[in-house]
Amino acid sequence: MQTEAIWPALGRSRPRVAVLASVNRPRVRAELQKLESILARSADIVAIDQDESFDFALTDVDLCVVLGGDGSILSAARRMGLHQKPVIGVNLGRLGFLAALGEDELGAIWPEVCAGKYPIDEHLMLQCAIVRAAQRQRGTPAGELPPSPLAYQLALNEAAILGGPPYSMLQIDLYVDGELASTYSCDGLIISTPVGSTAHNLSAGGPILQRRLQAVVISPISPHTLTLRPVVDRADRTFEMVVRQGHESVSAVFDGRVLGSLADGDCYRIGKAPVSFKMISIPEKGEYRTLRDKLGWGGNPREPKR
């Protein structure tokens, strides 16, 4: 889904901008002053957040500029929570699937971004909650969160059950809309968004999804049964990963962060979030070009006939 920038429709020629700068990265710290000067030419900078203290619930902004890498964008999505704002990422990190705009490219396109000339892509997010075995036994219906889930979070990339030491195989039951799909004997189980399909899911052998699809990928990590393959499903369903047999270091993880530990019988419940992650769509930064550049899809095109 694509939408348009809202601030021009409100009669504002200059958007209100929050700059999220991961100054723990030396490159971000070194480039911050120069990038701030570029941004201030066409926008009103409300805050330059260098310590994650900016509260999106208390201050209204039109646009969020993230300086860093993909990890910085995941952090921004987590911090915005239910108050998602359009994001443009300037890659001062390494790989840069999401933060695909180079620092030397910002000045050329920034005035047009601020004029609202570029569409905004909306991407699926997941809502993740831990439901303890006792809560499940009390009958919390599938598809609903318990009155007070132990832990709740929004995820942009993926939700997963992962095991640590002693690194023994896990037994995980997967329920989809309350129906048992399969029992996985594996090292872990990932439910990924299209945005996250090029992250942990890809490393586990899952497919790459077009980013604006309303779908998820279910990918087992090192399954014991070779017939268990990644599955693509609609995003508007409820997915419950229940630990049938685990050990003391099994965790519910979202976007690479631990949400909480899981004991036998505990459930990690995943559904479509009520909000979407919004990202400015930049010309010449399409998905296939990003895949070619970042994954080395060089190919071997034929020479044209003379």
pLDDT in tens, 41-75: 999 999 999 989 999 999 999 999 999 989 999 99
Catalytic residue among 49, 51, 55, 70: 70
Share of the chain residues as helix, strand and coil, in percent rounded to the nearest 5: 20, 35, 45
- Indicate where the chain has its CATH 3.40.50.10330 domain(s): 2-123+276-295
Structure tokens at 192: 């990924």
The predicted-structure confidence for 79-121, as pLDDT tens digits, reads as follows 999 999 999 999 887 767 888 788 889 999 999 999 999 999 9
As a dihedral over the C-alpha atoms of residue 120, residue 290, residue 48, residue 24, rounded to 10 degrees, the angle is: 150
CATH 2.60.200.30 region(s) of the chain?
Answer: 126-272
Q: What is the pLDDT of residue 268?
A: 96
231-234 β-sheet, strand order: 231-234, 215-221, 188-192, 158-162, 251-254, 257-261
Question: 70 catalytic, yes or no?
Answer: yes
Q: Does domain 126-272 have CATH number 3.40.50.150?
A: no
How many other C-beta atoms lie within 10 A of the C-beta of residue 104? 8
User: Is 118:249 a contact under the CB 8 Å cutoff?
Assistant: no
Residue 237: half-sphere exposure toward Cβ, Cα within 13 Å = 18
The topology under which CATH files domain 2-123+276-295 is Rossmann fold (3.40.50)
Q: What is the CB neighbour count within 10 angstroms for residue 105?
A: 15
DSSP line for 68-98 = E-HHHHHHHHHHHTTS---EEEEE-SSS-SS
Reported pTM:
0.90
Side by side, which strands form the sheet with 63-68?
A: 2-3, 120-123, 277-280, 87-91, 63-68, 16-21, 44-49
pLDDT tens-digit series, residues 279-305: 999 887 778 888 887 788 876 555 555
User: Helix count (H) and strand count (E) of the chain?
Assistant: 6, 19
Query: What is residue 101's predicted lDDT score, i.e. its pLDDT?
Result: 85
